Amino acid sequence: MSKKVFIGGAWPYANNSLHLGHIAALLPGDVIARYHRKAGNSVLYVSGTDCHGTPITLRAKNQKVSPESIALTYHKEFSECFRKLNFSYDSYSLTHNDFHADFVKEVISKLFESGELYEKTEFQDYCENCHQFLSDREIEGTCPICGGHAKGDQCDDCLATFDANELTNKTCKYCGSPVSKHSNVHLYWKLSKYQHQITDYVSSHEHLWRFSAINESRKYLANSGLIDRAITRQLDWGIDVPVEGFDDKKIYVWIEAVLGYISAGKKYCEEHGLNWEDFYKNSSSLDTYYVHGKDNIPFHTIIFPALLMALNENYQLPNHIVSCQFLNINDEKISKSKGNGITVKDLLSEYSSDSIRYCLTYQAPELKDTNFTPEILEQLHNKFLVGEYGNFVNRNLSFLVKKFKGIIPVGTVDPDVISTIQEAYSKVGTLIEKAELRNAIQEIQQLVKYANKYYDEKQPWIQVKQDISAFNNTTSTCIALIVNIANLYEPFIPDSSNTVYNFFGISKPNWEYISVVPGATLNNVSILFTRID
């Protein structure tokens, strides 16, 4: 029976280019979305660009441009990268839009009216000269450890990190004036009251989560437990606070960005004549996947579900949590200060989308950190895509083109092969549903190996001279293997699958055994993958 599937890919933050670590974390969402569509389910796959918050305003100040222009520039870059990598989002949105802002304000108003929020006075760093409150990153001072010069929470000299409150002789980053403390009122959310409910939620859903999500969530709940958190921030870039007396503040980005899943899903449904309430709320036939990197886990396993509980509107809580570990580059963690993160833009200028997607699935940091180098990508491409899959397709089809004008012979497909293929659909499908994508892609590789072995054992190049009906049967069987392998690979490497479909005039196959019409002629047969040297 067809079901509804909601997939939320994490929202990349608009103050830097996308790097490979982002894509390694987000790619599973696209594979899962593509699979469920082929399996006949109604899929809604959303993500977008996270546009607000302090880092963007600081970058804007440094570059003397508006925060909006920073956010929109990166949004454009992200959209372009995802398009080139064949991400099949139903909606790739951004938090800097009116629909999202109105939705967030509506949520905050509801939470305020239902007593989930309260006002709290804090003493915050203030510059009398600039007439503004300062965030940690806008303060400089003396390091509490070595006495050197420190910026915000990190020392330039000894590189230690600490709480910015521990700095002495604090000065304003902009004008150098000494910093004083001023009282400031913020809105807080009673997150602490969800400790038990969230603990129950986590333990009842863990069997659907990746190991890192289980671990990080348990740690988060055990360490300090849930504490109330400020939802307003002293900023002039972001979404207005819909509560009186907070005109000079904006909604804190941590609570606003996760609401993007709901606002983007709702907007998509409204624009496509679908009923969002039916789709997402109160529905036993809805399955959900949330896909992100390790550093994003508590937002999806704790904050977001607690927010849905607080709203008390029958929103379904996240089911599958697909969070990955880190992808290292040349065995080193990706870090901004080292500048070793390979950008997606750079990689796309060298390699095809299929090669990148194949490598990032094969090397995916599903259970532990894994390593990426361009050499690994090239080796995998040459070994599996060129040497095994591409070679199998090519030796069968170019022979037909050369000797039979590309006409597909009339023969019987080996029934043992049919059942092997059908088994692969079932195994690979189950693995994708469980987000075990490395195992899924290896299962398809096994079928490709089996196909090459079948071809070598039957020796159709000899059969063609000795027993034409045996040749026709072997070739029909190999053709069945080719189209079905392409179909199985489509969620992972869609470009090459579409090329194979075009050879055979097949369009949009479902997740099931495909038969090829005998006697038809192949179209525009070409080499599927070329070797990278």
Q: Which stretch binds Zn ion (CB under 5 A): 32-40, 81-89, 122-130, 374-382?
A: 122-130
Rounded to a whole number of angstroms, the minimum distance from the CB of residue 54 to Zn ion is 16
Tell me whether residue 144 or residue 298 sits nearer to Zn ion (CB atom): 144
Asked if 60 interacts with Zn ion (CB under 5 A), we say no
Q: Does the protein bind Zn ion through residue 532 (CB under 5 A)? A: no
* Phi then psi dihedrals of residue 50, to 5 deg: -85, 110
Binds Zn ion by CB under 5 A, chosen from 58, 72, 145, 514: 145
Q: Contact between 175 and Zn ion (CB under 5 A)? A: yes
Q: Which is nearer to Zn ion, 144 or 518 (CB)?
A: 144
Selected binder of Zn ion within 129, 285, 314, 530 (CB under 5 A): 129
Helix (H, G, I), strand (E, B) or coil at 286: strand
Looking at residue 14, the DSSP 8-state letter turns out to be T
**Measured from the CB of residue 172, what is the shortest distance to Zn ion in angstroms?**
3
Under the criterion CB under 5 A, does residue 142 sit at the interface with Zn ion?
no
The piece of 115-123, 143-151, 284-292, 380-388 that touches Zn ion (CB under 5 A) is 143-151
Of the pair 174, 211, the CB lying nearest Zn ion is at 174
Q: What is the chain's length?
A: 533
If one asks whether residue 148 binds Zn ion (CB under 5 A), the answer comes out as yes
- 3-class state of residue 172 by DSSP: strand
Residue 166 touching Zn ion (CB under 5 A): no
Least distance CB 141 / Zn ion (angstroms) = 11
Q: Is 65 in the site for Zn ion (CB under 5 A)?
A: no
Q: Which is nearer to Zn ion, 124 or 439 (CB)?
A: 124
Nearest-approach distance from CB 155 to Zn ion, in angstroms:
3
Q: Which of 130, 274, 317, 401 binds Zn ion (CB under 5 A)?
A: 130
Distance between CA 323 and CA 208 in Å, rounded?
11
* The only residue of 68, 118, 158, 453 in contact with Zn ion, by rule CB under 5 A: 158
Spatial CB neighbours of 147, under 8 Å, sequence gap ≥ 6: none
Binding mask 77-116 for Zn ion (x = CB under 5 A): ----------------------------------------
Q: Which of 174, 196, 278, 426 binds Zn ion (CB under 5 A)?
A: 174
146 binds Zn ion (CB under 5 A): yes
Q: Is 171 in the site for Zn ion (CB under 5 A)?
A: no
- Do the beta carbons of residue 315 and residue 278 sit within 8 Å? no
- Contact at 8 Å (CB) between 268 and 92? no
> Residue count at the site for Zn ion (CB under 5 A)?
14
Distances (CA, A) of 70 to 52, 59, 274, 507: 10, 8, 33, 41
Sign of CA dihedral 134, 138, 143, 145: positive
Q: Does 278 bind Zn ion (CB under 5 A)?
A: no
Amino acid, res. 401: V
Residue 288 · residue 29 · CB < 8 Å = no
Instruction: Report d(CA 203, CA 214) in Å as an integer.
Output: 9
Q: Which residues make Cβ contacts (< 8 Å) with residue 533, sequence separation at least 6?
A: none
195/192 Cα distance (integer angstroms): 6
Between 140 and 443, CB nearer to Zn ion: 140
User: Could you count the other beta carbons within 10 Å of the beta carbon of residue 65?
Assistant: 12
The secondary structure of 436-503, three-state, reads CHHHHHHHHHHHHHHHHHHHHHHCHHHHHHHCHHHHHHHHHHHHHHHHHHHHHHCCCCHHHHHHHHHH
Identify each DSSP E strand in 173-265 by its residue range.
Answer: 180-189, 229-230, 232-233, 250-251
Residue 246 CB, shortest distance to Zn ion, in Å, is 23
Binding part of the chain for Zn ion, among 74-82, 153-161, 418-426, 509-517 by CB under 5 A, reads 153-161
Query: How many Cα atoms are found within 13 Å in the side-chain-facing hemisphere of 75?
Result: 19
The answer to whether 139 contacts Zn ion (rule: CB under 5 A) is: no
The answer to whether 515 contacts Zn ion (rule: CB under 5 A) is no
Q: Do 457 and 378 contact (CB within 8 A), yes or no?
A: no
Least Cβ distance, residue 147 to Zn ion (angstroms): 7
Phi, psi of 320 (to 5 degrees): -90, 130
**How distant, in Å, are the alpha carbons of 197, 227, 262 from that of 317?**
12, 20, 12
Residue 151 touches Zn ion, criterion: CB under 5 A: no
Look up residue 375 and give its amino acid. Answer: E
Please select the residue that binds Zn ion; options are 51, 85, 107, 155, rule is CB under 5 A: 155
Question: What is the smallest separation between the CB atom of 52 and Zn ion, expressed in angstroms?
Answer: 23
Residue 211 contacts Zn ion per CB under 5 A:
no
178 near Zn ion (CB under 5 A): no
Closer Cβ to Zn ion, 142 or 319, answer by number: 142
Binding residues (CB under 5 A) for Zn ion: these are: 127, 129-130, 143, 145-146, 148, 155, 157-158, 172, 174-175, 177
